[in-house]
Amino acid sequence: MGKKRLRKQFEKPKKLWDKQRIEKEKKLREEYGLKNARELWRMQTELRKMRREARELLSGKGSDIEKRKQQLVGRAKKFLIRRAEVSLDDILALDIRDILERRLQTIVVRKKMASTARQARQFIVHGHIAVDGAKIASPSYLVEFGVEEKIGWFNKPIETGGKGGSSE
């Protein structure tokens, strides 16, 4: 069996040196504690793919439209939109912040397990954070809504309803 060919997981912006875009990206990187612009571009590419698929389905192009629609809506429900009914218009209305909010790094900060995004990133990379008991070492891991409350410290029991903080 041959080696799997690695593909670039993001698309670079058309205008690489656009001042407005660079400033906007810098604010997002600081707010969400991203290491570099490449991480942001990867999330933007994911969002772009989902929106492109939604537009194709709305226009009725391609085969197996119902099946593809169910898959896309299922993926959006799992990671991005917390509602019972999700339409393709909801997917088209998604913003980059919607995806960035679902990253493990962001959720660790929101759960007050870390005081800053950089600290959260370090905890995750060093293997201190677990999702549903499994160690996750990728800060960009997209957390499903169902396992969000199961995020805790690796090899420590998950506290339920107790006071926040650790007893170290």
Domain ranges in the chain? Answer: 19-100, 104-153
Contact 167, 133 (CB under 8 A): no
pLDDT value for 61: 80
Model pTM?
0.85
Counts of helices then strands in the chain (DSSP H, E): 7, 3
State the helix-helix crossing angle for 19-32 and 37-59, rounded to 10 degrees. 100
Gap between the Cα atoms of 5 and 158, Å rounded: 39
Gap between the Cα atoms of 38 and 28, Å rounded: 12
pLDDT value for 125: 97
Contact 117, 109 (CB under 8 A): yes
Evaluate if residue 168 carries a pLDDT over 50: no
Contact 79, 118 (CB under 8 A): no
Burial category of 16 from C-beta neighbours within 10 Å (exposed 0-12, middle 13-18, buried 19 and up): exposed
CATH architecture of 104-153: Roll (3.10)
The tens digit of pLDDT for each residue in 35-94 reads 999 999 999 999 999 999 999 999 988 788 999 999 999 999 999 999 889 999 999 999
What six digits make up the tokens of 35?
A: 């290491």
Average pLDDT of the chain is 91
